[in-house]
Structure 1
Amino acid sequence: MPALSEDVSKLTDRYQTTVPSSVRKQLNLGKGDRIRYCTEPNGRIYIEAMVAEEGDPALDAFLDFIEADIKTHPERLQAINDGLHDRLKALVGNVDVNLDAPLSDEDE
């Protein structure tokens, strides 16, 4: 299959290169954007723009709140004492969690 375009860039002494402007335009890249290098089984390598993962708005807002509260009131931070540790362990200590297992239909 013929290429739609061919662009060339040169590696510097530090193995860095400039992404050609036509490639930047095609991938809609801007300064600071990230690209991923993908290698196919046949050895062909291509690049693609990295799409930023969208966060959970509720979780992001909660984490922002926690961060602001810690910055404003660092004196409120407390170490977990043995009593709280023991209570938490009693609640979930015997629960097996496999983070690699797929979710069941009822969990999704």
Structure 2
Amino acid sequence: MSNSVEDETTVNDSYSVTVPASVRSEADLEAGDRLRWRVDEGGDLHVEVVKRRRGAFSELDPVELDEETNAAEDHDTVAGEY
């Protein structure tokens, strides 16, 4: 994180909270990310962001290919042929 961000939110009747936009932005939170909650011996609450991005390759840029490929033809072992 580049800046220190502080904000407040209210715990509702079902014990849900909304993460403020300023905190979401600074922590780079996205839908699907998880928050890990911990209370230490002194009673202080700590929250850790656990990234759960959509797909293993979601942060990779697509590659432009000049020619069409065919994995079945290009692979040295095609299913059913030994």
Q: TM-score, normalised by structure 1?
A: 0.39
Q: TM-score, normalised by structure 2?
A: 0.50
More helix by share: 1
Structure 1 or 2, whichever has the larger Rg, is: 1
More strand by share: 2
Larger RCO, structure (CA 8 Å, separation 6 or more)? 2
